[in-house]
Structure 1
């Protein structure tokens, strides 16, 4: 006899950053406390498999999970170096193990939440989730696991790819109050490449090599670059690598589907939360998930007014992706121009998609006008071409 599907008000398909964030926001809404919620993933996440960095002015819901936070950041390039005061922002580092534990403990304490470990095989538009063990149905399914990165012509397709060493030294080697946000002194190889250094104390730090390019590197290339950076710039030849991390994040202005149907809503990278021009995701996941929970509590559809919230920034992202893709103007010079001419907080506000039109104009005036004007004209032409009737 075929097993009957188990029905819920909300199914969260995937217990990563997006799924767990959404769960926490749902649980904070009094109007939703009677809703039956299923958190579904193939395994219970417990390890430090991710590191998320972001900047905030206010305290967020995951303050207790932070590994460290800073108010000053170094920027280095061939023509400009400075220790930047980013106030009123603080740059925050969150390790996934603490985040997973916090969210799963919150879920376990909630009577209306069911946690199931099952591999997700398929999600149908009518809200049915096919697992290996059972079928689950929901009034809404919030999906962060089943998606494809869109590959479409007339759009830009790059990757943010990185490898990091968590290192430990036998002697004091770092200033824990002065991390490095971007160091462009490394060889660019006709791409955009930089290193960031996040010290937790005087003897431990994350040193990460990052690139913006069409394809990731071979693992040994990351290792060679990291070893060179540690020896040449940080002047450390004796250290212990306690663990490593590696990741690839899409940087594309090709549109992700925000939903598969009225019942199946995509969240996180699957739902377009990754910022196309930088690869930053965590802050935008928080904004997306908080809005979905608020909409549901207000009796509205999950995606009510979400599409309009990032309007002008999609154009800005497309312009910068064109500059990166065409490689006619070095990417490091773009960042050097911004950080040498503007307060760091203005740049972070712009990258966080919170800037005013006046602040947008300040950022635009700081960079090479010919390069960006040409890129903007091309992107506007393509935008009009896409919307015009065939």
Structure 2
């Protein structure tokens, strides 16, 4: 049972998923590197246990606190449609993958090794109250207080109900299949499947000659509630790879529209998907999560050092990039059948470094212009000047 007297912290992080654990690990890293006092911290997570329930992928080059845990890298990546593939490669940036169980275990070990930090499982937070001098956190096991709180809970349905956009639905299967035939050094980001009313594609990551991850993904405008796991299995059977064994599954539904932070308080800031960290037009989050988590960790160290417990809500990306995503998604909604050719045009018309920066959420303006030039002008001008 939690109580005010025994549960007072400098920092409370609500949610122990990727965002919450990234902030905690960045804070531990920076405090150690700079030999600064570590704020007392608790992470409140509703799960009672962690499972190997997902993977995170990104292009290396962005500093991240989990870089030592990278399980697999690919030197090339490709997109394809109707038998045509565009392949890119980079000497500077490999496409990299992290397994959830590695991230969870590493973060838990780091947190438990620090005397004034803790991870509390099975704790559901119902309310954050911004009282004078402290934030009061109401949970299913009592109350606690913190000087500041970082809320990384996913957005509620009320926050998302008014948006007209896509949901990225995916169903993935890690399979054991000797002789699967995939090119070992090439990650297939999008192998588009024919569909008139929305975008669907296969995402394929070969781990070695015997194992791979196959995900069926759809950009669904209907609300993101239906199951697409049967599509992934149907695609697997259509490849005639022979006997295969499913080792692990993962699935999810991600909002593909802009989300704004729920709170505007110097003592309560938002993090994660609910703060707009996930890129609306791509569904990628990891690189942005690392960049913004480090910013928040630096603010927390400064607050501990100076005794001024006020935080600023970081912006995950510039406004002009959000505007580009809005236009792209509007055009995508109106022309789903032709969208696969847009992606092939982008990956063939912009070079690998431009695409990496763009996908990692840190494009230069010149990168954005190079990519914009690959898209059909009339279609996107109409999307830009209509609602």
TM-score by length of 1: 0.88
Write out aligned runs for 1:191-340 (5 A).
Answer: 191-214=198-221, 215-216=223-224, 218-219=226-227, 221-223=228-230, 225-232=231-238, 234-253=239-258, 255-257=259-261, 259=263, 261-299=265-303, 301-303=310-312, 306-307=314-315, 309-327=317-335, 330-340=338-348
Whether 1:51 and 2:59 are equivalent positions in the alignment is: no
Classify the secondary structure of the residue corresponding to 1:57: coil
Whether 1:181 and 2:189 are equivalent positions in the alignment is: yes
Match of residue 29 from structure 1 = 30
Q: CA deviation at 1:276?
A: 0.9
Whether 1:95 and 2:120 are equivalent positions in the alignment is: no
Whether 1:10 and 2:11 are equivalent positions in the alignment is: yes
Match of residue 386 from structure 1 = none
Inter-CA distance 12–373: structure 2 relative to 1 (3 Å threshold)? same
| Worse-superposed segment, 97-106 or 108-117 | 108-117
Count of residues paired in the alignment: 371
Q: Is the 8 A contact 1:179 1:198 kept in 2?
A: yes
CA distance in 2: counterparts of 1:363 and 1:89, whole angstroms: 19
Q: CA deviation at 1:171?
A: 4.2
Deviating beyond 4 angstroms after TM superposition, the runs of 4 or more aligned structure 1 residues are: none
Q: Is the 8 A contact 1:69 1:92 kept in 2?
A: yes
Q: CA deviation at 1:35?
A: 1.3
Match of residue 356 from structure 2 = 348
**Deviations 1:303-356 (Å, cap 9, x if unpaired)?**
26x238422111011011101222366221210111122223312212223222
Q: Is the 8 A contact 1:45 1:100 kept in 2?
A: no
Structure 1 vs Structure 2 CA RMSD: 2.4
Inter-CA distance 240–308: structure 2 relative to 1 (3 Å threshold)? closer
Whether 1:161 and 2:169 are equivalent positions in the alignment is: yes
User: Which sections of structure 2, spanning at least 5 residues, go unmatched?
Assistant: none
CA distance in 2: counterparts of 1:217 and 1:3, whole angstroms: 38
Classify the secondary structure of the residue corresponding to 1:49: coil
Q: CA deviation at 1:3?
A: 4.7
Inter-CA distance 146–279: structure 2 relative to 1 (3 Å threshold)? closer
Match of residue 385 from structure 1 = none
**Deviations 1:233-271 (Å, cap 9, x if unpaired)?**
x43132111121110111112x32253533221110121
Q: CA deviation at 1:112?
A: 1.7
Classify the secondary structure of the residue corresponding to 2:217: strand
Inter-CA distance 16–375: structure 2 relative to 1 (3 Å threshold)? same
CA distance in 1: counterparts of 2:293 and 2:332, whole angstroms: 30
Whether 1:137 and 2:163 are equivalent positions in the alignment is: no
CA distance in 1: counterparts of 2:241 and 2:142, whole angstroms: 53
Q: Is the 8 A contact 1:258 1:267 kept in 2?
A: no
Whether 1:125 and 2:134 are equivalent positions in the alignment is: no
